[in-house]
Amino acid sequence: MTEYTLRLTQPEDASALLEYMGPIADEPNNGISLASSDEITYTEEGLRKQIESQLQADNRLSIIAIDQEGSIIGYLNCDPPGPRGYLHTVSVGITVRRDWRDKGVGSAMMRYALDWCESNATIKRVELDVFTNNPRAIHVYEKFGFIQEGVRRSVYYKHGEFLDLLHMGIVYERDI
Ligand SMILES: CC(C)(COP(=O)(O)OP(=O)(O)OC[C@H]1O[C@@H](n2cnc3c(N)ncnc32)[C@H](O)[C@@H]1OP(=O)(O)O)[C@@H](O)C(=O)NCCC(=O)NCCS
């Protein structure tokens, strides 16, 4: 069995994370809203500050999956999508390194994140956006209970094609 571990992202991971993101951004049809690595706007210092702030906030989460050599093979973030009125909501972003896809890493990270959301009394809603031409991601999200809420048609243009973005969410039955 192939082995990996999940843990909270640490500020020292910033450089390795940038190296992780580049090849995924450069993949054709990568499923994310980056057409190539030159669209990555993070600096190492900026990413380090973001990770520090995620570690300190009750309503922010960042985790990575690591293989046995210590390389990052998956990355997931949960962050509120806006200021005050959005603080009960977290928006999820998730990627898995190409050679590790379809091996359960994305599901393991999502399980970790949703366990954290479910046990976090400040969170009422978890949401994400996914391109409608990404059936694997949609399958994983529906497996974990995300409901399809609506489609923004032709919102993104990549490789000569207009793409539709599906909005999905989970709402917890609790007052906050
Ligand atoms: C989407 C992503 C995060 C999922 O992570 P992963 O580690 O590959 O997913 P898992 O191995 O945990 O699960 C994959 C599931 O999708 C299923 N699947 C694979 N291809 C599929 C397809 N074309 N249609 C439907 N289901 C598919 C697998 O059978 C598996 O199902 P199961 O959990 O019921 O057995 C990962 O593939 C990825 O990073 N893709 C590229 C970037 C991306 O799309 N990010 C998400 C942007 S919203």
pLDDT tens figures, 43-90: 999 999 999 999 999 999 999 999 999 999 999 999 999 999 999 999
* 4, 76, 102, 156, best to mutate for ligand 1 pocket (most atoms within 8 Å of CB): 102
Which ligand 1 atom is nearest residue 128's CA? 48
Distance 105 CA to ligand 1 centre (A): 9
Q: Name the β-bridge partners of 95.
A: 75
DSSP H helix total and E strand total for the chain: 4, 7
Question: Domains of the chain by range and CATH?
Answer: 4-171 (3.40.630.30)
Q: What is the pLDDT of residue 176?
A: 85
Contact present, 137 and 130 (Cβ < 8 Å): yes
pLDDT over 90 at 131, yes or no: yes
Task: Give the range among 35-39, 60-64, 70-74, 165-169 with minimum mean pLDDT.
Answer: 35-39
* Separation in Å, CA 88 to CA 110, 117, 160: 18, 10, 37
Rounded to an integer, what distance in angstroms lies between the CA atom of residue 125 and that of residue 86?
A: 9
Q: What is the pLDDT of residue 1?
A: 60
pTM over 0.85: yes
Q: What is the pLDDT of residue 2?
A: 76
CB burial of 49-62 (b: ≥16 within 10 Å; e: otherwise) equals ebbeebeeeebbbb
